[in-house]
Structure 1
Amino acid sequence: NGYYILAQDGSDINLPFWHDDTQISYGQDSIVCQYHLNALYDCINHVFWESRIDLPTKKSEKSARIDFINHRNYPENSIITADRGYESYNLIAHCIENNQKFVFRVKDIDTRSGIMTSISLPDETFDITVTRTLTNLQTNEVKKNENNQFVFVPSTSVFDYLDACNRFYNLSFRIVRFKIADDKYETLVTNLDENEFGLSDFKDLYHLRWNEETAFYYLKHAVGMLYFHCKKRQHIQQEIYASILFYNYANLIIQNIKKKIKLKKTKYIYNINVRSALTNIRNYFRNQIKEYILIRNIKKYLTPSRPDRNVQRSIKRQSPKALNNRTS
């Protein structure tokens, strides 16, 4: 519908241990030597619009999203999607106040914590709009809470639109719930207009978010964000941003060439092999191959797309790559 579909997520980046590192976290049985990369990713054009490097804490994800919305260094006509880690009244309010369209996945209706708590909803597919009144007061009316209208915000929670002058804040949003399996549902909250986006559109909208997970995989395993050539964190940050810049540069080339590929009728839809393309673009960037060779090689190596294929994910603990020149 003419919108950019942007996804925000975070990914941990493991760093080689260095005894002079002042930002290492020492736990009871472990040492945490990491960065957490928060990024805003264009799911259709396959480029990163925003990124921020934080220390390894999930609390930074919501604050990074708010910073991105306030800075607005991405197209105005964008829809931002996010997974359950971003479920927050404060984040929803920031999106609405800044006229930012969003689609957030939230915990389902049977949850004991989260936005769906205390909202009377049917255990079926639905598309409804609700209004909640957030407050930091505990009056008799709030305690009685008829029709589950009020949401009490304790002092330990963050909500930026409540203060001494504004004790109540009305928040309206749309809740969409659809079936993804025989006995499994997904629940989303959004501010998209129901006349523009129907219930059937949200499955495709949210599915596009998975492209950012794939982008993080290529950043680490194809671009090489697992291997760092320095020890100091300031220099490692430069390498991380350089990896993101190269990934964007490469995908602008890939997307341009992709539009020109024409195949005969085949069983599968074939896409460019990203790993091979990144290698060739790196060689082109170093002036090791000519432009026509780059285009020929990218067009040559393709991989089939199998959208209905179900393969169990093999998740392994990721270890950082040690520096070969590191002194003890």
Structure 2
Amino acid sequence: MDTYELSFRIVRFPLQDGSCECIVTNLPREEFPAERIKQIYGSRWGIETSFRKLKYTIRLSNFHAYKPEYIQQEIWAKLLAYNITEIMINHTVIEKKETKHAYKIKFTAAAHICRIFLRLTTEKDSIDVMSLLKKELIPIRDERQYPRLKTAHFRKTRYFIYRAA
């Protein structure tokens, strides 16, 4: 059996509110000083929000299958559902109005609409998904700043094996 050794370092940098952020990384100290790690972490924020959408909205934190090949199938199906939802959102034209905020489609509602649409076996031609998505708008408020959570929630993968065959 092969053994591998991994080494990590903890990078700590101050935030605007006076608290500190700690990040664990395996990137070399010479090429990636703390300020560069902070910049990279900030630029990854869009990726992190996508992971949150996948875990909670698309429900990728729980699996119905038990065998690895079926879990992999379930992951691919949910990634496909995520991509379809994002494509539908990006192709929906939102009318610009004279309002205080610009608006975007709420991802959670869009995922639900797309999930129902994909499950339909008949009458798909009679449903205008884009019109349904246009009804699920929320304002874009870039000026908002939320305090960071002080606790981390660690979750294990849970299987739905309570179903009897």
Secondary structure of 1:303's aligned partner: strand
**Structure 1 residues 174-193: aligned runs within 5 Å:** 186-187=35-36
**Structure 1 residues 211-222: aligned runs within 5 Å:** 211-222=46-57
In 2 relative to 1, CA 206–324 (structure 1 residues): closer, same or farther, beyond 3 Å? closer
Partner deviation per Cα, 1:13-35 (whole Å, 9 max, x = no partner): xxxxxxxxxxxxxxxxxxxxxxx
Secondary structure of 1:317's aligned partner: coil
- Structure 1 segments (4+ residues) deviating >4 Å: 205-208, 288-292
Q: Report what 2:68 is aligned to.
A: 233
Q: Report what 1:150 is aligned to.
A: none
**Aligned partners of 1:248, 1:305: CA distance in 2, in Å?**
21
* TM-score relative to the length of structure 2: 0.68
Q: CA deviation at 1:243?
A: 1.1
CA contact 2:64–2:159 (8 Å) conserved in 1:
no
Q: Report what 2:155 is aligned to.
A: 318
In 2 relative to 1, CA 274–116 (structure 1 residues): closer, same or farther, beyond 3 Å? closer
Q: Report what 1:301 is aligned to.
A: 136
Report sequence identity in percent. 29
Secondary structure of 2:162's aligned partner: coil
**Aligned partners of 1:266, 1:186: CA distance in 2, in Å?**
38
Count of aligned positions = 139
Letter in 2 for 1:250: T
Q: Report what 1:256 is aligned to.
A: 91
**Aligned partners of 2:41, 2:61: CA distance in 1, in Å?**
28
2:87 equivalent to 1:87: no
In 2 relative to 1, CA 186–253 (structure 1 residues): closer, same or farther, beyond 3 Å? same
Match of 1:265 among 66, 85, 98: 98
Q: CA deviation at 1:248?
A: 1.1
Q: CA deviation at 1:218?
A: 0.8
**Structure 1 residues 33-48: aligned runs within 5 Å:** none
**Aligned partners of 2:154, 2:32: CA distance in 1, in Å?**
33
**Aligned partners of 1:255, 1:206: CA distance in 2, in Å?**
25
Q: Report what 1:274 is aligned to.
A: 107
**Structure with max Cα Rg:** 1
In 2 relative to 1, CA 233–300 (structure 1 residues): closer, same or farther, beyond 3 Å? same
Gaps of 5+ in 2: 1-5, 8-22
In 2 relative to 1, CA 207–305 (structure 1 residues): closer, same or farther, beyond 3 Å? farther
More helix by share: 2
Letter in 1 for 2:155: Q
Q: Report what 1:194 is aligned to.
A: none
Which fold has the larger relative contact order, with Cα–Cα distance below 8 Å and residues 6 or more apart in sequence?
A: 2
**Aligned partners of 1:86, 1:317: CA distance in 2, in Å?**
21
CA contact 2:65–2:161 (8 Å) conserved in 1:
no
**Aligned partners of 1:206, 1:322: CA distance in 2, in Å?**
31
More strand by share: 1
Q: CA deviation at 1:245?
A: 1.6
In 2 relative to 1, CA 116–233 (structure 1 residues): closer, same or farther, beyond 3 Å? closer
Q: Report what 2:30 is aligned to.
A: 114
Secondary structure of 1:271's aligned partner: strand
In 2 relative to 1, CA 116–294 (structure 1 residues): closer, same or farther, beyond 3 Å? closer
Alignment root-mean-square deviation, CA: 3.1
